[in-house]
A = this chain, B = another copy of it.
């Protein structure tokens, strides 16, 4: 062993979904959007004044915070911007989860939550979803140091009603409740409307899904100004300048093009609906999907086998070798053509045997 090796931090690194790059592949494994971002994004990159790149960017990405505030009808000081929602969520963990009591999150959830809790030495307890992958609201009434859950949930895609979200927020007004709404644009109402009613509620969203900008790394949080200020203080104590100029200015264009945004959400929802009906006909079962993906199991086939058979046909979906969900596939909604190819392939696979 190297003499300095004992000073290194020991971490269990997060394993991102594989990022294959094969000719002719169909990539339905990381919930990316199959469509490009709004045309203004390309224009913003083309017209970016390279003379200004020599300068540091605005520390709070204020021009983008203003555009988001206008779109969501909140105040700019109610918006925090980060390098993807992972950055926003990690800063949220650091900023708000400082208690001796454990934080709560569902047992089946975004796999980064336990990773951050371990990294920042935050005690946590998972609360089991019921057999239909639904949150049991009574589980969130015990003393805790904070609560976080995605809605719709990942990887189940299940959307919990605003009534359930409000119930949890209302019963936990002495801690911060973070609702991770990465996929909200594909489901029901956002809990954003509750942030002026509950000062302990933080909503986190992203440009990586419904705004087709995973490659640009933009996430944001909305909540009462005190929460946003606390997050900015923690961010400033770590890295003052994180959002680069292309992110700020292309992000604004994406936010301002509401027609493109709505039209492309509609497209995904139509394709999802068609895919749902096809999967049902093939005997698959799944929670009602609320994201740009379907979390499906087949009573007669092992998910792992289906995953492997699909991969042989260069169709990539996500498989999790984890308790309770190891017989499910998480299938991202791609274009109509991609989903037709996927359904053709999975039909073939499930009819062979």
Contacts and interface: CB of A to CB of B under 8 A. Distances in A.
Nearest to A239: B86
A301 interface: no
A197 interface: no
A23 to B, nearest CB: 15
A281 interface: no
14 contacts: A8-B98, A9-B234, A36-B53, A37-B50, A37-B53, A42-B48, A54-B215, A55-B215, A56-B214, A86-B240, A116-B237, A119-B234, A119-B237, A216-B245
Interface in A210-235: 212-217, 226, 230, 232-234
Contacts of A230: 8-9
A196 interface: no
B216 A7 contact: no
A149 interface: no
Contacts of A240: 14, 16, 86
Contacts of A242: 83-84, 87, 217
Given A13-B237, A54-B212, A86-B239, A200 B97 contact: no
A30 interface: yes
A118 B94 CA distance: 13
B241 A244 contact: no
Nearest to A207: B53
Q: Which of A11, A33, A244 has the most CB of B within 10 A?
A: A244
Interface in A31-82: 32-37, 41-42, 45-46, 48, 50-59
A16 B241 contact: yes
Identical copies of this chain, number: 2
A255 interface: no
B237 A214 contact: no
A265 interface: no
Given A86-B240, A173-B3, A239-B90, A34 B8 contact: no
Nearest to A119: B237
Nearest to A219: B239
Given A215-B244, A236-B14, A50 B42 contact: yes
Interface string A263-279: 00000000000000000
Nearest to A254: B53
Q: What's the dominant secondary structure at chain A's contact region?
A: loop
A314 to B, nearest CB: 16
Contacts of A19: 56, 58-59
A238 B119 contact: yes
A239 B83 contact: yes
A115 B240 CA distance: 12
Contacts of A97: 7
A155 interface: no
Q: Which of A41, A96, A236 has the most CB of B within 10 A?
A: A236
A16 B216 contact: no
